[in-house]
Amino acid sequence: MLRLDEVLQRIKDDMIKTLEDTMPEHLSKNKDLFDSYFEVLKSVEQLIETKKKNMSNWSNHLDEGGEKRSISTDAEILITNKPDKLGDVKQEDTINSSESSLFENIDNQIETIEKPMYLFERKILGGYLPKIDAIVPEGIVRRLGLEHHDYVYATEVASFHHFKKYHYELAKKADIVIPIDRVEYKYCPIESDGSLLVVRKSLETDLDIRIDGVPQSIRIPDFEISRIKPPLSEGDIIDIAFPDEKPELCRITYIHRVEHLEIDQKSNKFQKKKDIQFTKDLKSVELNLEGKHVLIVGNDPNKVHYKEKIESRGGIFLSVDDKDSIASIESCVKKADVVILLLARLGHILMKQVKKLCKEWNVPFETTFNIGADKITQIVSEALISK
């Protein structure tokens, strides 16, 4: 059991450490944290007063009973002459039990407030916590949605020689967006250029990759190709990042394993012909979405445009993304007449969950990398025609 002086010293050390880990611009926002420290100090103060009072009453009781005993500062019985005075021992046990409970409560409070936050620095691949010299893998950065100068909790879970493994949690988002020397392009189809693998465009925006306005062929470095298993090949879809205007330092940040997607030249040409033919069909047939529930899945800022397009045709717009609960997502799927998954705006886990729900409730669904409102409306119409 901790002594009172040890508890006080621990609280003091924790407060100093927390203050050291706090950035100057966040001092005022950590008021609640320091208020919690003072609540702990109040608990310690109450414990001291309670202990003094109980020990005083106990001492007076012994003096009145004529029992001669020596009491240490920790209220331990050093001399016990009469076995029939068990009541006094029980009283000591009660005091120690109460003290132990208070110590446990204080220890729990300290455990809660001593968890430090660490500044997160975004790198080309993954991230870094300079305070504890820890690397945050790219997969965790994506899962937690970490951005430059967010704050994270890092709990050590394993140690191997000089290497430490941490469990990471988002503690607090950055107050403002901090620009960094990093450029990222998502959903880039790999193409062959002789013996090289390159990317030239992003399916997220359907635009060419440009530097200073000039279209670029970004070569995938050999060291990136060699580290990825199974090997990359033409048609794979990847996310890339590199320092501004330094594409030769390109890193692969994510590989999209989408089974149904084919990016070869023949399928591209076929899709273009199909789109042209379908556009002609739409012009000749005015589709009515009256009363149809259209569910858009993905966190897309263009949702307001999708909503306008769908509602202008009499449809009912529904929307879910990664932040919604599975119960809420299932409720929307059950209502929907058609579901559109925006592959550029949702994670793999959500995509699998929604596909599974669509199959369970026999709801037709379509997937697309395109995020244009007209294209989405076209896909909705096509799905309902073939329903």
Quick one: pLDDT at residue 152?
A: 96
Whether the Cβ atoms of residue 264 and residue 271 lie closer than 8 Å to each other = no
Quick one: pLDDT at residue 188?
A: 92
Quick one: pLDDT at residue 374?
A: 79
- The residues that bridge with 251 in the sheet, in sequence order, are 241
Quick one: pLDDT at residue 14?
A: 74
Quick one: pLDDT at residue 119?
A: 96
Whether the Cβ atoms of residue 2 and residue 107 lie closer than 8 Å to each other = yes
Below-70 pLDDT ranges, the chain: 1-5, 17-33, 51, 54-114, 161, 257-287, 386-387
Number of DSSP helices (H) and strands (E) in the chain, helices first: 10, 19
CA distances from 21 to 5, 44, 278, 366 (A): 24, 25, 59, 48
**Contacts for 47-51: CB closer than 8 Å, 24+ residues apart:** 47/4, 47/99, 47/102, 47/103, 47/106, 48/4, 50/98, 50/102, 51/4, 51/75, 51/95, 51/99
Whether the Cβ atoms of residue 132 and residue 154 lie closer than 8 Å to each other = yes
How do the domains of the chain map onto residue ranges?
4-113, 118-172, 184-256, 265-385
Quick one: pLDDT at residue 39?
A: 73
Q: Strand 316-320's sheet: what is its strand order?
A: 316-320, 293-297, 338-342, 365-368
* pLDDT digits 0-9 by tens, 7-44: 777 777 777 766 666 665 556 556 666 777 777 777 77
Quick one: pLDDT at residue 97?
A: 52
CATH of 265-385 among 3.30.70.1450, 3.40.50.10700, 3.40.980.10, 3.90.228.20: 3.40.50.10700
Whether the Cβ atoms of residue 245 and residue 211 lie closer than 8 Å to each other = yes
3-class state of residue 23 by DSSP = coil
pTM of full prediction above 0.85: no
b (16+ CB within 10 A) / e for 301-340: eebebbbebbeebebbbbbbbeebeeeebbebbeebbbbb
